[in-house]
Amino acid sequence: MSAKTETAPSAPQRMRPVVGHDNREWWDHINEGQLTIQKCKECGTLRHPPRPMCWKCQSLEAEHMPASGKGIVYSFVVIHKPVIPGYEYPLAVAVVELEEGTRIVSNVVGIEAGDVKIGMPVKVSIEAVDETLTLPLFRPAS
Ligand SMILES: [Zn+2]
């Protein structure tokens, strides 16, 4: 058996996030099942996506704090085409405003894409979408 055969995914996979120095800690928390928000150690300003410098005070010192995972759909689109292997369509792609005030782009699942509404309460659900990728998705809050 060749190495290529051993590492080939069993099904088409989603595009992979680019993980680097600035966001590795955030992804590590996701892989541990915890949604976090980067927080400036100097002034306390929250920011997402993770980045090296505070936009408010220019501090390079930051930490990650646990997020409640609760938020609302701030905006969204429903994608029908183009169909990219690894995704299920129609696909609801939303900007979720977390109750802490930062916003995150994700998918809303567990509901028909056409039933997603602006302002609807959602809750994070950290899920393995394939063998090697875990993502923070959002489901309607009950
Ligand atoms: Zn700051």
The answer to whether 106 and 98 are in contact (CB under 8 A) is no
Q: How far away, in angstroms, is 113 Cα from ligand 1 center?
A: 37
| Res. 134 pLDDT band, cuts 50 70 90 | very high
| Res. 4 pLDDT band, cuts 50 70 90 | low
Q: How far away, in angstroms, is 44 Cα from ligand 1 center?
A: 6
d(CA 44, CA 41) in angstroms, rounded, equals 6
The residues spanned by each domain of the chain are 18-66, 68-142
Q: How far away, in angstroms, is 26 Cα from ligand 1 center?
A: 18
In the prediction, which pLDDT does 12 show? 85
Is residue 11 pLDDT above 90, yes or no?
no
Q: Which of 30, 96, 39, 13 is nearest to 109 (CA)?
A: 96
What are the two backbone dihedrals, phi and then psi, of residue 2, each rounded to the nearest 5 degrees? -80, 160
Q: How far away, in angstroms, is 100 Cα from ligand 1 center?
A: 16
Q: What is the mean pLDDT of the chain?
A: 94
Task: Note the pLDDT tens digit of each residue in 36-86.
Answer: 999 999 999 999 999 999 999 999 999 999 999 999 999 999 999 999 998
Q: How far away, in angstroms, is 55 Cα from ligand 1 center?
A: 7
CATH 1.10.150.120 fits 68-142, yes or no: no
- Tally Cβ neighbours within 10 Å of residue 139: 15
Task: Note the pLDDT tens digit of each residue in 91-105.
Answer: 999 999 999 999 999
In the prediction, which pLDDT does 9 show? 75
User: What pTM does this model have?
Assistant: 0.91
- Ligand 1 ion: nearby residues, β-carbon < 5 Å: 40, 42-43, 45, 54, 56-57, 59
In the prediction, which pLDDT does 1 show? 46
Parallel, antiparallel, or unpaired for β 91-98 and 70-79? antiparallel
